[in-house]
Amino acid sequence: MNNATHNQFLPLPSDAALQIGWPTLNHFLLDAPEKFFARTRVNADYGKPGWTRDCGKRFHRGCDIAPVKVTATGRTTRVIFTNCATNNDFESEEPTFVPHDDVFCVFDGRVVEVVDNENASDFGRHVVIEHSWPRGGGKFFTLYAHLSEISVTGSSVMSGQRIGKMGQTSRSADARNWMAIAPHLHFEVRDAEGRAYEPVEFLRRYVSLR
């Protein structure tokens, strides 16, 4: 996959008649989006998809959904922020948090990947579910990453079924450090070739409001 393809989103199917559920208890996307995305003190766009990382230099294929249930640890960790106006780095001690939200399958499907070893992937403990578009039958996949626990045991899952719990797992120590100050569920939507759909557009277009 070339970088031009990797660093852009595919358009969603124009004729898809899909009705999905929310991946977490955070339903603020439509009414109060500032509460939906994980953010850091310096980067309000941290959890949004697209060119939102490293002052717009790094492409983020997923969206990072902030927890509704979260506990402050009372501790801090040191991170290095970048002032994008000057391109200068500066260190900061930031408070840390632990998330407690359950994570749910957004649409009926089949579990095709479960990684329960947090050191095996940058996504830490994660689940990938295969789905079919209602019209045409083409495949698409949803990814639920950085989980603290995984609860799916069979291959078939239903929309709204609990599949795990939000966590802060990754084989990358740097990623774990950032998740300590901005805990989240990393959620992606991909086509059969692994190319990314815009996950926020996917949620906005298809999520059930009932």
From first to last of its 210 residues, what are the pLDDT tens digits of the chain?
A: 334 456 799 999 877 789 999 999 999 999 999 999 999 999 999 999 999 998 989 999 999 999 999 999 999 999 999 999 899 999 999 999 999 999 999 999 999 999 999 999 999 999 999 999 987 779 999 999 999 999 998 799 999 999 999 999 999 999 999 999 999 999 999 999 999 999 999 999 999 765
DSSP classification of residue 123: T
Please choose, from the candidates 17, 37, 198, 9, the residue with its C-alpha nearest in 3D space to the C-alpha of residue 107: 17
Domain definitions of the chain by residue range:
24-206
pLDDT at 5: 52
CATH for 24-206, options being 3.40.1190.20, 2.40.160.40, 2.40.10.10, 2.70.70.10: 2.70.70.10
pLDDT at 210: 53
Q: How many beta carbons lie within 10 A of that of residue 30, not counting itself?
A: 11
Give the three-state DSSP class for 160.
coil
User: Is the dihedral angle over the CA atoms 94, 82, 85, 8 positive or is it negative?
Assistant: negative
The set of residues, in sequence order, having a beta carbon less than 8 Å from that of 93 and lying 6+ positions away, is 76, 77, 78
Helix/strand/coil percent split, the chain, to 5 = 10, 40, 50
pLDDT at 2: 37
Residues in the chain: 210
Q: How far apart are CA 103 and CA 56, in angstroms?
A: 29
Query: CA–CA distance from 99 to each of 82, 130, 167 (Å)?
Result: 25, 26, 6
Is residue 183 a contact partner of residue 70, using CB atoms and an 8 Å limit? yes
For residue 195, with 0-12 CB atoms within 10 Å meaning exposed, 13-18 middle and 19 or more buried, which class applies? middle
Tokens of 126: 């994660």
